[in-house]
């Protein structure tokens, strides 16, 4: 079982997604465990304030280092095993399925979900003394916080774990997958026009179906 830790100010928002569908079943079946730590727990001010104005000026606020560091330390505890800390940055390595497979072989993965204008860089320097830190970007967009990329990574890692999807062939790139998929009924009508399922998908001839899907996939990649 792999243990995911999310360092976040909004655990309730994350848990709604991680408790649903495939991810929820994976947790129930003890394929994965999800835990949360909030940096607010580790502040010393009475307001639960976790951000300050940036040195050197600039817009917005920056999350302070020590509450984040303490939250990560609490998450990692004293357990042994293979661990990694995930730090998000638009300039980080683009996350791929190969990365998901590699992280899925670890015992614990900690996702540091920043907010505001980011996290004091000193937190990153300290975290590197605790466990290997991997810096990722999930897509080329900039998000309000690290929760969205963290959820995407947990999803990608979990669904690739043995037994989570039931059949290994359900993992898309381990079968011939086309970008276009169809289901019943065979024909649908919309505003006087008929939309039908391609005939080849109804033949039962798996060689022809695989060739059709392969052609579609290659056409999509070439765009």
The two beta strands, 187-190 and 108-112, are unpaired
| Domain boundary, last residue among 168, 185, 201 | 168
Same domain, residue pair 99 and 195 = no
Report CA torsion sign: 23, 28, 30, 35: positive
Could you list the residue range(s) of the whole structural domain that residue 201 is in?
A: 176-222
End-to-end CA distance of the chain: 39
Do 156 and 111 meet the contact criterion of CB atoms below 8 Å apart? no
For 143-154, what is the HEC assignment? CCCCHHHHHHHH
CATH number at residue 86: 3.40.1280.10
The pTM (predicted TM-score) of the whole model is 0.87
Condensed to tens digits (0 to 9), the pLDDT of residues 43-98 reads: 989 899 999 999 999 889 999 999 999 999 999 999 999 999 999 999 999 999 99
Q: Position of tokens 């890692």?
A: 157
CATH number at residue 199: 1.10.1270
Condensed to tens digits (0 to 9), the pLDDT of residues 108-122 reads: 999 999 999 999 999
């Amino acid at each position: 079982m792999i243990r995911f830790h999310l360092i976040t100010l909004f655990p309730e928002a994350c848990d709604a997604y991680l408790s649903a569908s495939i991810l929820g079943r994976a947790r129930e079946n003890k394929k994965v465990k999800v835990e949360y730590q909030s940096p607010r727990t580790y502040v010393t001010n009475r307001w639960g304030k976790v951000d300050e104005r940036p040195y050197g000026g600039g817009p917005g606020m920056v999350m302070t280092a020590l509450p984040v560091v303490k939250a990560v330390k609490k998450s990692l505890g004293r357990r042994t095993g293979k661990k990694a800390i995930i730090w998000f940055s638009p300039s980080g390595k683009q996350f791929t399925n190969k990365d998901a497979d590699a992280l899925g072989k670890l015992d614990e993965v900690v996702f540091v979900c920043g907010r505001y204008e980011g996290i004091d860089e000193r937190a990153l320097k300290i975290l590197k003394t605790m466990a290997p830190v991997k810096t990722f970007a999930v897509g080329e967009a900039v998000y309000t916080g690290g929760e969205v990329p963290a959820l995407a990574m947990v999803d990608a890692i979990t669904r690739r774990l043995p037994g989570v999807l039931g059949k290994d062939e359900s993992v898309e790139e381990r079968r011939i997958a086309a970008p276009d998929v169809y289901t019943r009924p065979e024909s649908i009508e919309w505003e006087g026009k008929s939309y039908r399922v391609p005939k080849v998908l109804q033949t039962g001839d798996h060689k022809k179906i695989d060739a059709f899907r392969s052609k579609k996939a290659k056409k999509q990649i070439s765009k």
